[in-house]
């Protein structure tokens, strides 16, 4: 029996490469720009997203994410929500350091083994990091509800919200087109978002390279009374 499902696609984009990324340095709240490689590598994604009209655009307020958004979706750069809760974890005293520089520090070794229990000196605890991402998710889901409750007569053919579906298969020529929301952030944040939305997914299961996109389809069913996500593609 078909169940009425509200659906929206979240397009999670990791910022392009910075010099510190290439040098494998811990990069959290330090505000450095993309390097030339990082800007150039965004060209394919810019072509993929060209002309899309997103229902909402959310971006970390740090320069590397702002630059990424300006390249991949310039039409939305002035109207996006630039949100500090989407910043990467703050690595404190370890910012700008590499594994080779830190590997002999006992606290760092403990953090590598148990990041949920150990906090970088002067940095951010895992609980604080996860808590602020959860706060963003709460606000996002309110916007998702709004996007999925717009009257059908205000939508164009490419903005269908409701579909009759027995499941959420991948994108294909017969698949309905769903409203889309764009989120430009950092690797750790995108992992945490994916874990929060997709049942059974662990933090270390998620791999999003700089300048790449992860699509999550959120579905709300009246039968279950909640939202569930699934990975549609990983690029």
Q: Which domain holds residue 113?
A: 3-234
Query: CA 168, CA 232: separation in Å to the nearest integer?
Result: 9
Return the DSSP state at 125: -
What confidence tens digit (pLDDT) does each residue in 28-67 have? 999 999 999 999 999 999 999 999 999 999 999 999 999 9
The alpha carbon dihedral of 21, 25, 30, 32 has a sign of negative
Q: What CATH number does residue 54 fall under?
A: 3.40.50.1240
Angle at 219 between CA 139 and CA 227, to 5 degrees: 50
Please report the pLDDT score of residue 225 as a whole number: 74
Instruction: State the Cα–Cα distance between residues 7 and 144, nearest whole angstrom.
Output: 9
Q: Are 24 and 98 contacting, i.e. CB atoms less than 8 angstroms apart?
A: yes
**Residues of the chain whose pLDDT is less than 50?**
1-4, 152-175, 234-235
Q: What is the pTM of this model?
A: 0.86
Report the number of distinct structural domains present in the chain. 1
**Cα-based distances in Å from 6 to 21, 148, 160, 226:** 38, 6, 10, 10
């Amino acid at each position: 029996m078909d169940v009425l499902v509200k659906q929206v696609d979240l397009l999670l984009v990791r910022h392009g490469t910075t010099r510190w990324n290439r040098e494998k340095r811990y990069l959290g709240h330090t505000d450095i720009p993309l390097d030339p490689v990082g800007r150039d590598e965004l060209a394919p994604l810019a072509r993929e997203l060209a002309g899309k009209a997103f229902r909402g655009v959310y971006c970390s307020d740090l320069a590397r994410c702002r630059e990424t958004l300006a390249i991949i979706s310039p039409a939305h750069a002035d109207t996006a929500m630039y949100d500090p809760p989407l910043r990467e974890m703050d690595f404190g005293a370890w910012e700008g350091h590499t594994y080779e520089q830190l590997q002999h520090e006992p606290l760092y070794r403990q953090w590598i083994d148990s990041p949920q229990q150990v906090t970088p000196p002067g940095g951010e605890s895992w609980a604080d990091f996860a808590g602020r991402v959860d706060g963003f998710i709460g606000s996002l889901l309110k916007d998702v509800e709004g996007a999925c409750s717009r009257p059908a007569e205000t939508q164009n053919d490419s903005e269908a919200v409701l579909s009759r579906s027995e499941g959420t298969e991948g994108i294909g020529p017969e698949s309905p087109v769903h409203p889309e929301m764009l989120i430009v952030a950092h690797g750790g944040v995108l992992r945490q978002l994916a874990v929060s939305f997709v049942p059974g997914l662990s933090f270390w299961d998620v791999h999003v390279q700089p300048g790449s996109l992860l699509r999550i389809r959120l579905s709300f069913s009246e039968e279950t009374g909640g939202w569930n996500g699934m990975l549609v593609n990983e690029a």
